[in-house]
Amino acid sequence: MAGLENKMLISNLETIPDRRVVKHLGLVQGSSVRAKHVGRDIMASIKNLFGGELVGYTELLSESREEAMERLVQQAEAVGANAILNVRFSTSSVAQGAAEIYVYGTGVILE
Amino acid sequence: MSLQILLFLLLLVLGYFIGSYLERKHYRSIIKREAALNVLPAVASKILPAGSESYEQTLVLGNVTISVDYFKRFLATLHNFFGGSVSSYETLLDRARREALLRMKQEAQRLNADLVLNVKYETASIYKGSGSGVGSVEVLAYGTAMIPKRSAT
């Protein structure tokens, strides 16, 4: 993530209270595809018998989401935005054992 | 052949007992933490209450992947045949949503937020095994945490 001073404002609101949007810079996006490793897979098959949380998958998906968000921020920085509004997440399983995390939003310049 | 049936029955029984024990344990923990986090409202609205102070905003996330047990998956297969509401999956999704929301709220609390606006859920099924279809779901809850400027120094 960016440094503290010019930290990108990421929000899933369409407008930010008290702040005006100076310029819209269009859609910015980030995605990440991750596959799990074998160890996690074996644990998951055991958990699948008894139910409960699949911690490995939870971690995998949250790491993947972080990576996607980093890419989102990079792209927003590249177009010169200082905030990303109306952020949405989307998940799709592209193959067995691999998931794509997609995050997108509107890059804007706030005053 | 008889060994296979035996294994199947064993898995059903084990799945039933361990699965329902884990589910009850999870529900107890959810109810306890929900009560503790009641002070931090998470709402689907996008508008701040009128006359409130100024806030810093940041995105907060919470996610969880939960699997259904062998017994319930078997029940669901039967339900697929006869139709009707599949209560075993209803509790699975209910647990996953509530857990994801709790994790999101915990992150918001860590950031000293007052409330979380515009909460959205995103559900994805994780495919596992051959042909058994939905076995585990991932739920992501996200929203915009409103952090009062006085505490964010």
| Contact across the interface for B58 and A10, Cβ inside 8 Å | yes
Task: ipTM value, please give it.
Answer: 0.82
| Domains of chain B by start residue, with CATH | 2-148 (3.30.110.70)
Give the Å distances, CA to CA, from B71 to A85, B24, B93, B132: 44, 15, 16, 13
Segment B101-123 mean pLDDT: 93
Predicted confidence band of residue A97 (pLDDT cuts 50, 70, 90)? low
Residues in chain A, overall count: 111
| Contact across the interface for B61 and A65, Cβ inside 8 Å | yes
For the domain bounded by A9-110, which CATH number is listed? Answer: 3.30.110.70
For B129-153, how does the pLDDT look when each residue is reduced to its tens digit (9 = 90+)?
434 555 788 899 999 999 888 644 4
State the smallest CA–CA distance between residue B128 and chain A in angstroms: 7
Nearest-by-CA chain A residue for B59: A11
Chain B hits for A17, CB-CB cut-off 8 Å, are 48, 54-55
Q: Residue B89 pLDDT more than 70?
A: yes
Q: For residue A10, which of A75, A91, A97, A94 has the smallest C-alpha distance?
A: A75
Q: What is the dihedral of CA B17, B75, B77, B99, to 10 degrees?
A: -70
For B25-48, how does the pLDDT look when each residue is reduced to its tens digit (9 = 90+)?
999 999 999 999 988 989 898 888
CB B65 within 8 A of CB B138: yes
Nearest-by-CA chain B residue for A56: B65
Predicted confidence band of residue B103 (pLDDT cuts 50, 70, 90)? very high
Instruction: Return the domain boundaries, chain A.
Output: 9-110
